[in-house]
Structure formats: C-alpha cells, structure tokens
Amino acid sequence: MGKAPKKRNLADKVRKTKTSTEIKNNPFEVKINRKKFDILGRKTKHDVGLPGVSRSKAINKRKETLLKEYKQKNKSNKFIDRRFGEYDTKMAPEDKILQRFAMERQRVHEKKDAYNLNEEEELTHYGQSLAEMEKFNDIVNSDDESEEKGLLSAELTASHFGGGGAGGLLRKKTPGDQQQEEEGSQRAKSRQELIEELIQKSKQEKRERQVQREEAQELTEKLDQDWRSIQALMVKKTPKAEQATKQEEKPKLDEYDMMVRELGFEMKAQPSEKMKTPEELAREETEKLQKLEADRLRRMMGDEVRDSPQSQIHMSADDLNDGFILDKDDKKTLSYQDGKWNIGEESEGDGDEDGEEGESDEEDESEGDGEEEGSEEEDGHSDLDSEQESEDEERKQEEKETSAKPKKTLSKEEMKAQQEAAKAELPYTFTVPESCSDLKDLLHGHTPDNQRLIVARTQKCNHPSLAVGNKLKLQKLFGFLLEYIGELATRTPPELPTIDKLIPELYALCQMFPEAACKAMQSILGDAAHSMEEVLEVKGHAAFPALDMLIYLKVTALLFPTSDFRHPVTTPALLYMSQALTKCPVRSLQDVTSGLVLCCLAMEYVSFSKRFLPELINFLAGTLHLAVQDKTSLGSYTVVPPFRPSGKNSDLLVLSDSESSCLPVLTVWLSADTSTRAILMSRQLICLSTCLDLVKQCCLLYKDLTSFLHIFQPIRTLLSKHLSVHTLPEPLQELHSEILEAISSAPVTHIRLVFEKKKPIPLKLLTPKIVEVLDYGKKRGSTREEREKERLKHKYKKEFKGALREIRKDSRFLAREKLNEVMSRDAERKRKVKELFGSLATQEGEWKALKRKKRK
C-alpha cells in the first residue's frame, strides 16, 4: 500500500516528459503571429515560438540585465573594458584595430604639435633661423675687458690644442710649405719660442687696451671741467628792472587756476580713529574705574601716589648703554663741499669760517643755473624742519621741567589727611547686589548724586561683555531699582529728588535689557490691577492709586513708547488708569488730586497718538461739577460715576467766600490736614486751575475729531451756565474764556448718515455647456483638445499599469534569486557541517579502536 503512490508519481513524470517532447516536435503546436504589413516606427510583437517561450525570454533578459546589476551592487572592483569598439558587435576585429591605431597616433600628434603654428614654415628672428640660434654658435663681439676675459685667440688655441687652422703647429707640412718657410726665414723656430711669442703678443695687446682706456677717461674728465667753466657764461642773466617789468606784465590768474592752486595746497584728508564697539568702551571704562579704585586704596593705606610712574627698564650685563639721545647742541652739521660730504660740529665753527665763505662764494656763482630749484627745495622742507624742531624743543622742555621738580615727601599730618580723604571718597568699583536689601544697604546714607554714581559705576564694572553672569545680575538689578524707587515714594516725606536722579540709570538698564524691563513692569502693573479687582469684588469700590503707583506709571511713560497702537507695557498701564478713573470714588480733596495726576499721565500717554479717552473727559467734567454751587438745575448735562449729582462729597471745590477772587493760586504741599482755611482754599484753587488747564489741552488735542462738539458739549454747558466765574481769580477767568472760545470756534463737521454708494452687482450669467451624447451612453469631448487629453490620459494609465506590472515582476525575480542564494548557502553549510560531523565520527571511532588495542 505504501509503494503504489510512488509508482503513480513516476508514471506522471514520464507522461509529462512525453507531452513536452511531443509539443516540441509537433509543428501544429507552434504559435506563429503573422503581421499583415510593416508600419514605420511601430515595434514588432510578432514572435514565433512555443507556448511559454515569451516568459522564458523575459526571464533570460532579466538574468542578463537585472541579475548582473544586483550581483555588481555595492562592489567597487568592477573591470570595464573601455577600448574603442569592444562592445560593438557590428565592427570587424580588423576595423577595431585600425581605428584604435589611428586614434593613438592622433593623440600623440596633438600632444607633440600643440604649439606648432605650421610645420612647413620655418620661424626666423631678424633673418636668422630660430633652430640654428638655439645652437649658441653666434660670435660674441664686445670690447669690454670683462667679456674678453677667459677667451683665447685662434693662434694660442692652435698652438696649445692643435686647432687645425692654417697656422697650426701640429699639422702635417707639405713640401711646398717647407720651401716657403726656408725662403722666409733661414732658421725655423722651435715650439717653445712660438709659445713665448704668442704670450708676449697677448700681453702687449692687453697693455695697449689699458692705455687707450686711461686716455679716454682723462679726456672725459677734462671735457667735464671745460664745460663747467663755460656753463655760467652760457646762461643769460636779465637785470632786476626787466625782471620786475616781466612780473608786472604777467597776466592775472583766472578763478579756475586759482582754485586749482588752492586745491593743491589744501590739507589732505587723514584717516580718523576707528569707532569703538560698546564692548570695547565698556572694557575701557572698567579698566579706568579699577585703576582709580586701586589708586584710592593705595592712598587710603598711606602709600605715596606718583603722577607718572616710570617703569624700571631692565639692563643686561652686555648692554653698552648706547641708546642715549643726543641733545640739539650735540648734533653735527652736514654740508657738501668739493664733491665730498663734510661733517663738522658747531664747536668747530670758528675754524671753518673760511670754508663757509668759500661755500657762500660758490653758491653765489651757482645762483644762475640752479636758483629756482634751490628755492623750491628750501621752501618745500623748511616748514617741516621747523615743526619737527619745535616739537623736539617742547618735549625736551617738558622733560627738563619734570626732572627739575623736586620730589616732595609728605608729612605725617598730610599723610593722615590724605588717608581720611581717601576713606571718605566714594569707591570706584562695586559688585552687583544680590537682593533688594543689599541694594538698600549699598545706597543707604548717600546723597542722591552719590546714589546715582554708585548705580552707574555698578553697571560699568559689571558690563555683560566682561563676564558670563553679568547679564543676569544686571537684569535683576533693574527689578531691585524699581522696588527701591517704590519704597522711596512711600517714605514720609517721599524722596522725590533721589527718584529723579535714579531714573536715568533705570533708562540705561531698560535700553540694555528691554525684555527683562518689560517683564518687570508687567509684573508690577499686573499686581496692582489684580489687587484693585479684588478690592472691588469685596467692597464694591477702591481707593485711588498711591504715590508709588503714580510714579511707576510715570516711569512707564519715560521708559517705553506710548504712541504704539498696542504695547505689552503701556497698553496695560493705560487700561489701569482708565479703570482707576472710572471705579475709584471721589471722597476728598486728596482723591481729586490723585485723579488729576492720573489725568495728567493719561494726557502724556495720548499726546502723540491722539487716542480718545472717554474716561478722561468724564473725570474732568465731574471735577468741574464739584465746583458748581447750585446743583438743582442739571437738566442740560449728566454726571457720570464715580461722581454723584448731589450729596456729601459733591461740593469739594465750591468756593464759599467771595474773597477767593482776590487770592492768588498758591502752590502748597498736598496733605490730608485741612484745618487751616487758607490752605483748604489754596488747594481748591490749585485743583480747579489744573482741571481747567487739562480741559484746554484736551480741546487742542481733539479739535480735529468729527464729534468734537458732541464730546465737549457737557463741559461747555458747565462752564457757560453753571460755573460762577466771578468767584475765581483772574488767571482762572482767562482760562475759562480761552476754553469757551476754543470750543465755540471749532468747525462743525457733522455729516448726514447716508448709505454707501456702491455699483450694483450684476446677475451671474452662465453659458450652457453642450455635450455630444453618442450611442451606448458614452460621453466624449466635442473638441479636438479634449479628445487628445482623453487619449493621453488613457495612454498614461496603460503605461503606468505596464510599468507597475514590470516592477512587480522584477521584484518577484529578485526575491526568487535572493531566496535561491540563501538556500544555496544553507545547503552548502549543511553539507560542510555533515562533513565535519562525519570526520569527527571517524576520528572518534579510530580513537576508540586505538584505545581498545592498548587495553588488550
């Protein structure tokens, strides 16, 4: 039962092989795709083969291309034959060899003849061939002795080396030559005699050349002397009268010529000093302060301080002390006499008088030929020499004065006084305080000017560019200064001069660290606003801000821009002031004063941007309402909170006496004590004058608004109908009339409310789209462009699908190849493991057998 399936499998395999062979041999199984006619540019798909042949062809093509690329991937040892025609199957081997040989000859020819202009022409220079000139066969013709030195004559060369000339000594003599020699001279000279004769001739020629050169030199010098003697006679000297007339006859210079000469004498621009960076300036300031502090500490310890300490110069043992400077008296005079430099000293002036007279005579004689040049040279350098001499004299004089000053030694009393002065003097270097209490301790007991100086020196000594942690320290210092200013404002009496002195240093820190300053001010304003909101929630009303908060608002206006549309510091400050002017009730003259201070700050905030604040106008109108005596007829205007139309605190600014018109506007310190009648009246007048002044400023600020009259209508009614002017002093009456005049003179800018004129929007008209509907419900584009677009879309989809299909086939092919590689590696590993196990088993058997033999 177990062997029957195996037989069936073998039968199936035999049957399959038979059918495959029958298919190959059967011509009716061959598939032939015939093409009816050839079309130019179309790929042929008419292959002849058996079923499955196209698949095997595709696999073979992938093996030749994709498989090779996969095997060569990440390999650098690839050998590519780049010989010409190596991969061209259409070229014959002989054609390849001939083409390679021609290309090699062409490459060599291009390298060799890169600079040849023309091979057939011969280049020449002055009629001589350059090729022959390079052989260095040219004859040197020179009369100079230095060039002739080392050259031998033809006779000497022939006598020594057998030169081969006609007069050679070693050449073979013919019979004719011997007869001529016998006729010319009765006895032939020996070789030694001929050599001596040649030596004498060369010496004689050399001596003659030397004599000729000396004679030429003597003639040249004589000619130069004769020329000097007649040179003065050749120069024509004009009399002085003619020179004066010529100078008068010279034409006057034009403006252009004068301008050109002035430009020639103008001083040229000199390079200015380099601008120093803030880091360099801070470093210099720090070094200066450290030096002053060291000087103060030295004086405090009792050491003498020298004005100009001289550093000791080290002198070595080999120093010859030759670096001294000559004085002006030790300088030697330099002159030029008889063609030589004459160096003499001023001390020898008596002995050189004759020489100087001779020089002066010679200079007088040479005036004719070199007068102008000498004058120009003297004019060109005389001023420089004089400036240099004057500077040297001043420097020497200063050195003499400093050396002549005796060194004074201080007595004990003077030293003690100097120590006390140094102790009382303000230090020059400070460390940044770590907390507000440290800052208070540092500034305690100092005047306002000294406090400002301490803060300024602390900034300079701890500049951010000098150390890494200085930036954070100075940022904290800004917050400490704000807290210290608030504490100064809360003291009794408040130290306002000290605050005024510290604000510039606060501004410097704000400019240096704007983000930290912004956060510090935001925290102060936020805390104040939250505290006011909490009080309003609990009590329903809040008190006006104290003096410290008013100073913080003033500092905000000084440190940050108030004209921005939205700012992270000034916008919350403006909102805080608006809330205080609206929510804080007025119950005393002190509240009125605080409210007017807030109004002044609000005016300062909106002076540039001209932003309209309704809270400001309402508070000013309410303040004027406090000065109205008869509050029964208020039909023409309404009172807005925090003011009341009538009640306990509605008559705070009412002047009861008619004598108030005679009182001047006094400036009295605002205090809560109102027991004195004169002080109370003066404070009322001050508040009323401040309110009227603010109303006048508001009129000038908002006069360009379209609703100006509507805004200031309540104030106009109060001033013209309800406020009694006859009880006010003259300055306030003048302010009253100016305000009414400003309000009445404002132009009426009311505009009727009309609809905005706009062009009517036409109805949207759409052109109907006509689509041709053919059979079978298919829609096709009616235009040629649409049909072409549809055809390209269809072609793109078809090609895209084909590309995806080929990519999938390639990936499957690579996956199969990778799997085959892994399987082959595993099979090889299994085979090697089996071989190893087999060899180990045989070794183990042999070892056991050997062991048994030993036991036996």
Q: Which residue has the higher pLDDT, 692 or 249?
A: 692
- At 4 the pLDDT is 44
Q: What is the mean pLDDT of residues 497-518?
A: 93
Q: What is the mean pLDDT of residues 73-95?
A: 79
Cβ proximity of 205 and 152 under 8 Å:
no
Residue 21 pLDDT > 80, yes or no? no
- The residue with tokens 């039962």 is 1
**Distance in angstroms (rounded) separating the CA atoms of residues 50 and 52:** 6
Percent of the chain with pLDDT over 70: 65
Of these ranges, 164-178, 188-202, 354-368, 802-816, the one predicted with the greatest mean pLDDT is 802-816
Confidence of residue 479 (pLDDT cuts 50, 70, 90): very high
Residue 690 pLDDT > 80, yes or no? yes
**Segment among 399-408, 582-591, 771-780, 797-806 with least mean pLDDT:** 399-408
Cβ proximity of 35 and 44 under 8 Å:
yes
pLDDT digits (tens, 9 = 90+) for 601-610: 999 999 999 9
pLDDT digits (tens, 9 = 90+) for 348-389: 444 444 444 444 444 444 444 444 444 443 444 344 344 445
Say what the pTM is: 0.48
- At 355 the pLDDT is 43
**Distance in angstroms (rounded) separating the CA atoms of residues 482 and 524:** 9
- At 358 the pLDDT is 44
* Alpha-carbon distance values, 457 to 34, 500, 760 (Å): 105, 18, 72
Residue 719 pLDDT > 80, yes or no? yes
The C-alpha angle 169, 170, 171, rounded to 5 degrees, equals: 100
pLDDT digits (tens, 9 = 90+) for 101-117: 888 888 877 666 666 65
Ramachandran area for residue 406 (φ above 0: left; ψ -120 to 50: alpha; else beta): beta
Residue 236 pLDDT > 80, yes or no? no
C-alpha closest to that of 474 among 502, 842, 207, 465 = 465
Q: What is the mean pLDDT of residues 79-98?
A: 82
Cβ proximity of 251 and 258 under 8 Å:
no
**Distance in angstroms (rounded) separating the CA atoms of residues 727 and 721:** 14
- At 406 the pLDDT is 47
- At 749 the pLDDT is 62
- At 204 the pLDDT is 92
- At 724 the pLDDT is 81
- At 336 the pLDDT is 47
Confidence of residue 270 (pLDDT cuts 50, 70, 90): confident
C-alpha closest to that of 665 among 729, 583, 761 = 729
Q: Which residue has the higher pLDDT, 357 or 252?
A: 252
Q: What is the mean pLDDT of the chain?
A: 75
Can you spell out the DSSP letters for 736-764? HHHHHHHHHTSPP------PPP-PPPPPP
Residue 523 pLDDT > 90, yes or no? yes
Confidence of residue 314 (pLDDT cuts 50, 70, 90): low
Q: What is the mean pLDDT of residues 507-529?
A: 93
Residue 458 pLDDT > 70, yes or no? yes
- At 520 the pLDDT is 94
Confidence of residue 269 (pLDDT cuts 50, 70, 90): confident
Please state the separation of Cα 335 from the chain's center in Å: 57
Q: What is the mean pLDDT of residues 161-173?
A: 46
- At 772 the pLDDT is 65
Can you spell out the DSSP letters for 468-513? STHHHHHHHHHHHHHHHHHHHHHSSS--HHHHHHHHHHHHHHHHH-
C-alpha closest to that of 429 among 445, 446, 438, 442 = 442
The DSSP bridge partners found for residue 779 are 773
Residue 593 pLDDT > 60, yes or no? yes
The C-alpha angle 430, 432, 433, rounded to 5 degrees, equals: 115
**Segment among 189-193, 453-457, 810-814 with least mean pLDDT:** 189-193
pLDDT digits (tens, 9 = 90+) for 731-786: 888 888 898 888 887 776 666 677 878 888 888 888 887 766 655 555 555 678 88
Which tokens go with 422?
């140094």
Residue 119 pLDDT > 60, yes or no? no
**Distance in angstroms (rounded) separating the CA atoms of residues 555 and 503:** 8
Which tokens go with 771?
């689509």
Q: Which residue has the higher pLDDT, 651 or 18?
A: 651
Q: What is the 3-state secondary structure (H, E, C) of 215-274?
A: HHHHHHHHHHHHHHHHHHHHCCCCCHHHHHHHHHHCCCCCHHHHHHHHHHHCCCCCCCCC
Confidence of residue 131 (pLDDT cuts 50, 70, 90): low
- At 357 the pLDDT is 45
- The residue with tokens 């009129």 is 699
pLDDT digits (tens, 9 = 90+) for 610-655: 999 999 999 999 998 888 887 776 666 788 888 888 878 788 888 7
